[in-house]
Chains A and B, each alone.
Chain A
Amino acid sequence: MDKRKVYLDYSATTPVKEEVLQAMLPYFTESYGNPSSLYSIGQDSKQALETAREQVAALIGASPREVFFTSSGTEADNWAVIGAAESMAKKGGHVITTAVEHHALLHTAEYLEKRGFEVTYLGVGQDGLIRLEELESAIKAETTVISVMFANNEVGTIQPVEEIAEIAKKRGILFHTDAVQALGNVPIDVKKLGLDMMSVSAHKIYGPKGVGALYVRKGLALPSFMHGGGQEGNRRAGTENLTGIVGFGKAAEIAKAGLQGHIARVSELRDYFVKEVSARIPDIRINGSMERRLPGNANITFEYIEGEALLLLLDLDGIAVSTGSACSSASLTPSHVLSAMGVPVEMIHGSLRFTVGDFTTKEDLDYTVGSLVRSVEKLRSISSVSKEKGWQ
């Protein structure tokens, strides 16, 4: 088989779409004015900025004035959770989040703990989902903020965000969700869902890296996170990343127009991939709920082998995927998400995440399955553990 380049890590980042790039280009060299400047090219930039704000707002059902551009989803998470917890500190110092959040949220919660806040980390079931009863019983009089991710980055499971928002609202608690993975993959309407704050990012929806946004419900007095000039309605200082924001706007516009088609196409490809892998490779496990899941995500454990070795063999065949094993990061601990779901540690080491996107073809997946069959067989022939002999 001819070697191809196959990218199956759309949850890590996405390529910038050609139309997005074309929309951005004039703002580097022609319309380079500072949006805060009063002369014409400054005002042109201001206009481009506000168009992008409308485009992003339209994708999430918000009003443009509720969208604040940031440098990343991580910045939006930090701003929302720290800002909300600190501004509510007089009422109480208890924050609820989950054990399966992205590090952008987990490490922010740990920061709050160091600052004297109390944080409850809700567990998840084998399906990767939190239990609403557990959330309700975790709420105390001092609880001021709940932050639960919309969809998980490793296993793609979609949390019951609308129900959580309702519980939070009833108890007078602010609710934030990290929707970085969900944006452009799930229909989102912040008004219908009843969200207070939501983090999003451009580079997961075929926009550029280095730009994100925080949705802040109108009337919510979230303190500013960056202090300086009057950009972003005095709430996020610093000259705007104009080219990035224009790209984000264009990517949001494209995502909104093609959302149903994207979901249908990508989930069909993912389902095909899972079906093929299941049929052709024995002793695998699919991690997380297949019902409440992002369309492009498949997280698969290949028993009796180690994931990074498999990732390398796939890479040698030109295929890019990511591992949920300890090998994927500098940390000793294997994937905190799979751990929280109760996946045995030895199996976490053999887990890979495949994420399909708009440029993935059926041929790419056939090629990947072929490489997987050979690579898994090869590593199992080298491995000191096996189905016959067990894990010892």
Chain B
Amino acid sequence: MAMYNDKVIDHFTNPHNVGELLNPDGEGTYGSPVCGDMMKISIKVENDVITDARFKTFGCGSAIASSSVATDLIIGKTVEEALKVTNRDVLDELGGLPAIKIHCSVLADHAIRSAIYDYAKKTGKTYVGLEGFDPGADEGDTHHGCDMEHKGCEKE
């Protein structure tokens, strides 16, 4: 498989943390099937630490691999630490994605923020890392309802 490295293939074929949590403390969704990928994530938070995270993703191989790695990265972190996880961290953990697939890692980044936003709203908490974040802001209607930054998964 020339397109992806072994780590990406491993996370794609054996993704970690797939599923939905019962009674989650926060839930987030990003993307849409029309755009080519959509991630749903649910989190459990205890004493401000993310103790569990589960995801479901409609999308290409790198979207699924990014979802797997991103959920791995936030489990065990405090909420504020989890908000510092960026798509760059997801990419580094995956050992890189083809240039045209980099947007797939943004999917996970946004979905995580949306889930924490949901948690913060439900509990009335505020986090520095959420300042200026609006979960619906990027879902413009420039192309089939897909914004240009998040443009699904493409291949060269």
Contacts and interface: CB of A to CB of B under 8 A. Distances in A.
Interface stretch (B37-45, B69-77, B78-86, B87-95): B37-45
Interface in A128-152: none
Contact of A316 (B13, B100, B144, B151): B13
B153 to A, nearest CB: 5
Contacts of A381: 18
A316 B1 CA distance: 7
Contacts of B144: 345
Contact of A330 (B40, B100, B143): B100
Given A313-B13, A315-B1, A381-B18, A308 B156 contact: no
Given A312-B1, A332-B143, A326 B154 contact: yes
A346 B64 CA distance: 17
B36 interface: yes
B60 A306 contact: yes
A250 to B, nearest CB: 32
Interface centre among A315, A329, A383 (most CB of B within 10 A): A383
Contacts of A309: 12, 59-61, 63-64
B18 A384 contact: no
Contact of B60 (A308, A334, A345): A308
A305 B1 contact: no
Q: In the complex, which range does the number of interface residues on chain B fall in?
A: 20 to 34
A383 B155 contact: no
A349 to B, nearest CB: 5
Interface string A282-322: 00000000000000000000001110110011011000000
Interface in B135-156: 143-144, 151-156
A306 B153 contact: yes
A327 B154 contact: yes
Contacts of B156: 330
Nearest to A323: B155
B64 A330 contact: no
A27 B18 CA distance: 58
Interface in A69-121: none
A382 B61 CA distance: 11
Interface in B23-48: 29, 32-34, 36-40
B49 interface: no
Contacts of A325: 36
B15 interface: yes
Contacts of B63: 306, 309
B58 interface: yes
A389 B4 CA distance: 31
Interface of A: 304-306, 308-309, 312-313, 315-316, 325-332, 334, 345-346, 349, 381-385, 391
Given A308-B60, A312-B9, A382-B57, 9 more contacts: A306-B58, A306-B60, A306-B153, A308-B153, A312-B4, A312-B60, A327-B153, A384-B40, A384-B55
Query: Which 4 pairs from chain A and chain B are nearest by CB?
Result: A346-B33, A384-B56, A308-B60, A384-B40
